[in-house]
């Protein structure tokens, strides 16, 4: 093999191909929708490899080994991953790339099967970042750009069946194409999807286009290429039933029937009676087989795919599927894996979609490029609406590139190839022209091609629609803004000016402890015609498993080094800057609803309840109203059970151990036969005890039978209603030994190692930091308040302590009144915030316990983490969780582990000793091993050292989470105003 890169005679390719935006390919075959994996020769595995410093650098004599598919940035090279969001990782302007340009050279010998003699032979490279140059036996074969779609090359005249061919794939990391792949993700280099070699008959199916309508009408257009025989024809079957051929449509592109490169077309038709239509709720699929025959009837080529009958249309301001208005409960998804970067397996993708399905998601936006092709078949099977997005994002140079004619070919090429590949998937209901690339003539050109080629689906592009949500003359059929305040969306829908559906392409940014007000968003969406949902940003935290010792990715062998979102000792989840790069955007890459190992974050449970297919809407006339909140499906696929949860507000030692005052009763539930949107009243299956305690009814809904995404008994939702509020708490009479305080007016208690003090600070969340809120708190000095005792007064058995907490711009007056009660002490508190402190993190109490109290039991919302503006998915009940499992390990340590609406709780040792706390009303409580300053100071979890006891926060008020790292902050109702805040609680020993 020669060492020189290909420089064919074609004058376009004679340029440096990695800096020629007019050149999107050379020698690459057209994209099509025919799956060629069956019978192919897989070329995945170990390849000889060299990493050069630049495309023009000579190939040396030293070779290593690398695994294909896989990014070289994840396989031990000196070129490590780098994360940027908007800015490019190099300074050069489009279309230029840096001189220091890592270039991977892959080589391997391929034994071409002897039985392929006389057949057409094709090499398929699933994906390469960002420019691919192909040589075989030293001869240049072709070039391809577009890092996320396959490239195919005809090797028929280059290789000889029965002999070995030397294949060299050269991948140039940076190119003119990099400027339109600036996609808020890790930058990698390499061959990231599978490579294979396949053979076809000289006469072959070049493409198959399926149109399957919800009324059962089926049309299959077949494109045939190759060496022309007389009398060829096409047949088809749908689930074994033959299709009719439209003979009048059979034609050639030439009158000379002896040519070897002809184009023919044929059409197959059918009308399917009693057709089973496809939706995300009912993903009904049919098997379609198309055969290309020679004149003697023998089969030259075959295509098989699973298809679905469905219609997508926009009527007025509604997006309809099969004539029904749908809700889009979506998430943005990258191809990602913490060990292999951009390379994902079929099992990985299935696990992604199964998890999303279990938590109520029904839609995916393939951010920001076409995902691995296997994902679409899984979406067809499991039931997801897909917004298929082209591999275009020019974020750093968007304005220049959108109208740059040098990039026109690239825009149209990438959009059209995506459509040609994915057009037969029923799951794909919308085409997206890309992301964050401004709006220009290049978008209009790409949109024009799509509208002509596939009029059956709408187009969306945020960059066009953001200029005017009500416009009717741009490239987007859908108003699809990013992070628009829900108030603005509602106002638009009520304005009378709305002309098209409003579905946010990104909303509710999931960075760290986030997704506040998600339930508020959906309450507005479901009650406002014209709003249909959106896509949360995003599915994954893109943390790469990193060895702490050498700062490199753990590599493919890292499996088993993480569990429940936590990296094993000696490892951590790396984010921007952790690989020594100077240009990066930090932890902004960690913004998913799951951790890097696919462990669900607490927001997943929030979403599951928001998306519940069964609702309990009200309690009246001693009965309950059940609603079917689906669009297409009845309730016959679900089972349910009633639960009645009781509590009278006491916190005795028997809490959680069978005390009848804390009972949870169950009864079987028979769901009514309801069509979508229908409601029915059902009787309450329990008699409420008349002791006046708090009472909640929950309907636990599970799958009746095995589903493709979950076994029988998988919980789907748990709607809940309060039947009776808790009685007002009564203050216990004064009794017991006098309360002891020290010289600083701090409570002395044998179970506490740090006395209860005022807390206004939380370890800033990512939203707090990036939204500028934490900076304001630090400016006020809330992270370093100085306590001064003003007065300690004892009146009988009661002790009153007046203290002041001084910040840099204000003083908080704090009063604690300690009163002995049976077995403990009641603490009544007030805090007066000055006017300057108009939006603090929390107002409450913090104390620390002795070691050994390792189990938290509580009555309130749970069992998972919840906060004031993210609590819809945490039902009220009796919960029990080990203290070490309460903390949520967000990639950058921050405030976490809180539980909302807690009425009372106990912290106990294995021998049932410990402490019990009763609160005056439902409060925000957190119990972890870390002080707020511990979390604030740490960049990664391997830097944290757990404290032996528990750090307990009881908050009279806790600020909402919001999504201010990217998008709106929490709403005003979840902010903490200045003025006087009061709360009280009782501490007893168990």
What is the tens place of the pLDDT at every residue in 752-779? 999 999 999 999 999 999 999 999 999 9
> Residue 743 — pLDDT band, cuts 50, 70, 90?
very high
Q: What is the pLDDT of residue 260?
A: 57
The tokens describing 627, both together, are 């609603």
What backbone phi and psi angles, to 5 degrees, belong to 335? -75, 115
CA atoms within 13 A on the CB side of 421: 29
Query: What are phi and psi for residue 840, nearest 5 degrees?
Result: -95, 170
Q: With CA atoms as reference, report the closest residue to 653 among 909, 967, 894, 833.
A: 909
Contacts of 226 (CB under 8 A, 6+ apart): 120, 200, 201, 202, 203, 204, 206, 260, 261, 262
The number of beta carbons lying within 10 Å of the beta carbon of residue 204 is 22
Tell whether omega for the bond before 430 is within 30 degrees of 0, i.e. cis.
no
Pairwise pLDDT comparison (559 vs 586), residue with the higher score: 586
pLDDT over 90 at 662, yes or no: no
For residues 358 and 377, the answer to whether their CB atoms sit within 8 Å is: no
Dist. CA 540–CA 594, nearest whole Å: 5
Q: Quick check: 657 pLDDT over 50?
A: no
- Closest by CA position to 572, among listed 544, 541, 603: 544
Q: In angstroms, how far apart are the furthest CA atoms of the chain?
A: 113
Confidence label for 653 from pLDDT (cuts 50, 70 and 90)? very low
How many CA atoms, within 13 angstroms, populate the side-chain half-sphere of residue 972? 1
Decide if 269 contacts 246 (C-beta within 8 A): yes
Residue 933's φ and ψ, nearest 5 degrees, are: -70, -30
Burial class (CB in 10 A: 0-12, 13-18, 19+), 11: exposed
pLDDT at 718 over 70: yes
pLDDT at 622: 62
| Share of residues in the chain with pLDDT > 70 (%) | 95
647, two tokens: 């509590």
Q: Using DSSP, state whether 766 is helix, strand or coil.
A: helix
| pLDDT tens digits for range 163-191 | 999 999 999 999 999 999 999 999 999 99
Distances (CA, A) of 367 to 83, 391, 411, 446, 535: 16, 9, 16, 18, 10
Question: Smallest Cα–Cα separation from 461: which of 477, 441, 440?
Answer: 477
What confidence score (pLDDT) does residue 846 get?
Answer: 98
Q: Describe the crossing of helices 408-422 and 373-382 by its angle, rounded to 10 degrees.
A: 40
CA distance 426 to 389: 15
Structure tokens at 848: 């620390």
**pLDDT given at position 734:** 63
Average pLDDT of the chain to the nearest whole number: 94
How high is the pLDDT of residue 737? 83
- Can you say whether the dihedral through the CA atoms of 859, 865, 871, 872 is positive or negative? negative
Instruction: Provide the token pair at 718.
Output: 């748990």
Query: What pLDDT is recorded for position 867?
Result: 98
pLDDT surpasses 70 at 688: yes
Q: What is the distance between the alpha carbons of residues 677 and 614, in angstroms, rounded to a whole number?
A: 10
Q: Which tokens in the block code for residue 31?
A: 């994209």
pLDDT above 90: residue 244: no
In this prediction, residue 362 carries a pLDDT of: 98
CB 361 within 8 A of CB 337: no
Please tell me the least confidently modeled range out of 298-302, 615-619, 960-964, 966-970: 615-619
SS3 (DSSP) at 312: strand
The terminus-to-terminus CA distance of the chain in angstroms comes to: 80
Check whether the bond before 794 is cis (ω within 30° of 0): no
213: tokens are 């309508």
Confidence of residue 654 (pLDDT cuts 50, 70, 90): very low
* Whether the bond into 495 is cis, omega within 30 of 0: no
Q: How confident is the model at residue 254 (pLDDT cuts 50, 70, 90)?
A: very low
Please answer whether residues 384 and 427 qualify as being in contact, where contact means their C-beta atoms are separated by less than 8 angstroms: yes
- In whole angstroms, what is the distance from residue 362 CA to residue 635 CA? 17
Q: What is the pLDDT of residues 92-151, one digit of tens each?
A: 999 999 999 999 999 999 999 999 999 999 999 999 999 999 999 999 999 999 999 999
H helices, E strands: number in the chain: 12, 58
DSSP state of 728: P
Buried b (16+ CB within 10 A) or exposed e, 119-129: bbbbbbbbbbb
Contacts of residues 320-324 at CB distance under 8 Å and 24 or more positions apart, as own/partner, are: 321/279, 321/280, 321/385, 321/429, 321/631, 322/214, 322/277, 322/279, 322/632, 323/214, 324/631, 324/632, 324/676
- Whether a cis peptide bond, with omega within 30° of 0, leads into 881 is no
pLDDT at position 583 is 95
The CA-CA-CA angle for residues 33, 35, 39, to 5°, reads 160
Say whether pLDDT at 873 is over 90.
yes
What's the CA angle centered on 512, arms 388 and 700, to 5 degrees? 75
Spell out the alpha helix ranges (H) of 791-931.
Answer: none
- Between 775 and 648, residue with greater pLDDT: 775
563-578 burial string, b = 16+ CB within 10 Å, else e? Answer: eebbbeeebbbbbbbb
Give the span between the Cα atoms of 383 and 630, in whole angstroms: 14
Both tokens of 427, joined, read 């799951």
pLDDT band for position 230 (cuts 50, 70, 90) = confident
Mean pLDDT lowest among 339-348, 546-555, 702-711, 719-728: 719-728
Question: What residue spans of 63-182 are helical by DSSP H?
Answer: none
DSSP conformation letters of 143-154: EEE-TTS-EEEE
Q: Which residue has the higher pLDDT, 61 or 377?
A: 377
Q: CA-to-CA distance for 779 and 793, rounded, in angstroms?
A: 33
Provide the CA 247 distance to its chain's centre, in angstroms. Answer: 47
Confidence grade of residue 689 (pLDDT, cut at 50, 70, 90): confident
**Rounded average pLDDT over 260-275:** 89
- Quick check: 479 pLDDT over 80? yes
Residue 649's pLDDT is: 62
On whether the CB atoms of residues 507 and 593 are closer than 8 A, the answer is: no
> Which has more pLDDT, 868 or 650?
868
The token duo for 105 is: 């050279």
User: Per residue in 210-223, pLDDT tens?
Assistant: 999 999 999 999 99
Residue bearing the bigger pLDDT, 26 or 689: 26
CA 58 – CA 306 distance, rounded (Å): 47
Backbone angles phi, psi at 108, to 5 degrees: -165, 155
pLDDT of residue 620: 67
Mean pLDDT check: name the lowest of 81-95, 649-663, 737-751, 783-797.
649-663
Q: How far apart are CA 537 and CA 435, in angstroms?
A: 13
Query: What average pLDDT does range 704-713 have in this prediction?
Result: 98
| Token pair belonging to 108 | 């391997």
Range list of β-strands (E), 862-990: 876-882, 898-908, 914-928, 951-958, 979-989
Residues 6+ away with beta carbon under 8 Å from 347 = none
Query: Does residue 738 surpass a pLDDT of 80?
Result: yes
* Radius of gyration of the chain, Cα coordinates, nearest whole angstrom: 32
- Our measurement of the distance from residue 303's CA atom to the centroid of its chain's CA atoms, rounded to an integer in Å, reads 33
Q: What 8-state DSSP symbol labels residue 741? A: B
* Res 263: pLDDT: 84
Res 660 pLDDT > 80: no
Q: Any idea what the Cα angle at residue 967 is, between residues 589 and 184, rounded to 5°?
A: 25
Phi, psi dihedrals of residue 363, rounded to the nearest 5°: -150, 150
DSSP assignment of 195-217: EEEEEE-SEEEEEEEEEE-TTSE
User: Is 0.85 topped by the overall pTM?
Assistant: yes
Q: Helix, strand or coil for residue 943?
A: helix
- Interatomic CA distance for residues 97 and 55, integer angstroms: 11
Over residues 816-831, the mean pLDDT reads 96
Percent of the chain with pLDDT over 90: 88
């Amino acid at each position: 093999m020669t060492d020189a890169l290909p420089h064919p005679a074609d004058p376009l390719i004679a340029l440096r191909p990695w800096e020629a935006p007019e050149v999107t390919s050379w020698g690459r075959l057209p994209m099509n929708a025919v799956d060629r994996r069956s019978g192919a020769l897989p070329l995945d595995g170990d390849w000889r490899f060299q990493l050069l410093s630049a495309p023009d650098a000579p190939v040396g004599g030293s070779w290593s080994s690398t695994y294909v598919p896989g990014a070289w940035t994840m396989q031990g090279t000196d070129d490590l991953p780098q994360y940027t969001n908007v800015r490019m990782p190099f300074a050069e302007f489009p279309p230029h790339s840096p001189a220091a340009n890592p270039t991977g050279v892959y080589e391997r010998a391929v034994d071409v099967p002897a039985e392929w003699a006389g057949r057409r032979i094709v090499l398929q490279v699933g994906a390469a970042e960002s420019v691919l140059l192909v040589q075989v036996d030293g001869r240049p074969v072709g070039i391809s750009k577009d890092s996320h779609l396959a490239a195919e090359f005809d090797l028929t005249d280059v290789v000889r069946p029965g002999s070995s061919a030397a294949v060299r794939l050269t991948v140039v990391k940076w190119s003119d194409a990099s400027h339109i792949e600036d996609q808020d993700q890790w930058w990698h280099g390499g061959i990231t999807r599978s490579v294979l070699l396949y053979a076809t008959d000289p006469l072959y199916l070049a493409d198959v286009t399926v149109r399957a309508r919800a009324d059962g009408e089926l049309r299959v257009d077949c494109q045939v290429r190759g060496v022309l025989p007389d009398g060829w024809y096409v047949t088809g079957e749908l689930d074994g039933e033959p299709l009719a051929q439209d003979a009048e449509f059979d034609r050639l592109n030439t009158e000379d029937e002896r040519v070897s490169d002809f184009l023919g077309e044929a059409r197959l038709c059918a009308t399917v009676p009693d057709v089973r239509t496809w939706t995300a709720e009912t993903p009904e699929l049919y098997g379609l087989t198309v055969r290309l025959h020679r004149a003697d009837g023998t089969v030259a080529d075959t295509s098989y795919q699973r298809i679905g009958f469905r219609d997508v249309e926009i009527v007025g301001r509604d997006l309809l599927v099969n004539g029904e208005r749908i809700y889009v409960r979506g998430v943005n998804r990258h191809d990602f894996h913490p060990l292999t970067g951009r390379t994902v397996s079929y099992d990985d993708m299935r696990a992604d979609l199964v998890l999303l399905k279990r938590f109520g998601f029904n839609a995916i936006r393939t951010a920001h490029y076409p995902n691995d092709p296997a994902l679409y078949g899984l979406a067809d099977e499991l039931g997801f609406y897909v917004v298929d997005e082209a591999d275009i994002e020019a974020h750093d140079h968007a304005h220049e590139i959108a109208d740059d004619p040098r990039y026109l070919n690239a825009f149209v090429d990438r959009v059209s190839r995506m459509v040609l590949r994915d057009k037969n998937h029923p799951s794909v209901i919308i085409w997206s022209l890309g992301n964050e690339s401004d709006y220009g003539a290049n978008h209009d050109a790409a949109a024009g091609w799509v509208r002509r080629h596939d009029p059956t689906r709408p187009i969306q592009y945020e960059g066009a629609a953001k200029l005017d949500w009500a416009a009717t003359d741009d490239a987007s059929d859908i108003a699809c803004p990013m992070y628009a305040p829900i108030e603005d969306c509602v106002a638009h829908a009520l304005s009378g000016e709305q002309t098209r559906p409003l579905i946010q392409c990104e909303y509710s940014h999931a960075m760290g402890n986030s997704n506040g007000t998600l339930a508020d968003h959906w309450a507005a969406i479901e009650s406002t015609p014209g709003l249909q949902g959106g896509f949360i940003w995003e599915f994954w935290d893109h943390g790469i498993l990193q060895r702490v010792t050498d700062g490199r990715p753990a590599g493919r062998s890292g499996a088993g080094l993480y569990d429940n979102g936590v990296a094993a000792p000696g490892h951590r989840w790396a984010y921007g800057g952790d690989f020594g790069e100077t240009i990066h955007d930090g932890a902004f890459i960690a913004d998913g609803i799951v951790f890097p190992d696919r462990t669900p974050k607490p927001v997943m449970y929030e979403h599951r309840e928001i998306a519940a297919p069964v609702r309990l809407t009200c309690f009246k006339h001693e009965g309950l109203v059940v609603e079917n909140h689906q669009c297409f499906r009845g309730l016959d696929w679900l089972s349910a059970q009633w639960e009645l949860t009781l509590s009278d507000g006491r916190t005795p030692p028997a809490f959680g151990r069978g005390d009848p005052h804390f009972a949870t009763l169950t009864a079987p539930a028979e769901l009514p036969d309801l069509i979508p949107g229908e409601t029915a009243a059902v009787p309450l299956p329990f008699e409420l005890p008349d002791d006046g305690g708090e009472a909640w009814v929950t309907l636990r809904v599970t799958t009746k039978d095995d589903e493709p995404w979950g076994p029988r008994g998988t919980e789907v939702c748990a709607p809940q209603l309060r039947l009776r509020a808790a009685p007002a708490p009564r203050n216990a009479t004064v009794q017991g030994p006098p309360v002891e305080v020290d010289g600083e007016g701090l409570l002395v208690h044998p179970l506490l190692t740090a006395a209860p003090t005022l807390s206004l600070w939380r370890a800033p969340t990512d939203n707090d930091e990036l939204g500028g809120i934490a900076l304001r708190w630090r400016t006020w000095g809330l992270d370093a308040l100085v306590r001064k005792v003003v007065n300690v007064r004892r009146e009988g058995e009661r002790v009153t302590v007046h203290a002041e907490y001084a910040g840099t711009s204000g003083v908080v007056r704090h009063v604690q009144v300690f009163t002995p009660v049976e077995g403990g002490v009641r603490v009544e508190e007030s805090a007066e915030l000055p006017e300057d402190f108009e939006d603090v993190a929390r107002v409450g109490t913090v104390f620390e316990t002795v070691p050994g109290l390792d189990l938290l039991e509580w009555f309130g919302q749970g069992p998972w983490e919840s906060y004031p503006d993210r609590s819809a998915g945490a039902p009220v009940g009796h919960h029990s969780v080990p203290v070490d499992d309460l903390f949520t390990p967000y990639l950058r340590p921050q405030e976490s582990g809180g539980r909302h609406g807690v009425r009372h709780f106990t912290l106990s040792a294995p021998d049932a000793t410990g402490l019990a706390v009763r609160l005056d009303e439902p409060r925000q409580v957190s119990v972890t091993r870390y002080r707020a300053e511990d979390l604030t100071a740490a960049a990664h979890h391997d830097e944290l050292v757990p404290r032996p006891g528990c750090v307990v926060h009881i908050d009279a008020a806790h600020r909402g989470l919001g999504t201010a790292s990217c998008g709106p902050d929490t709403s005003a109702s979840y902010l903490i105003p200045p003025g006087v805040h009061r709360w009280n609680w009782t501490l007893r020993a168990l």
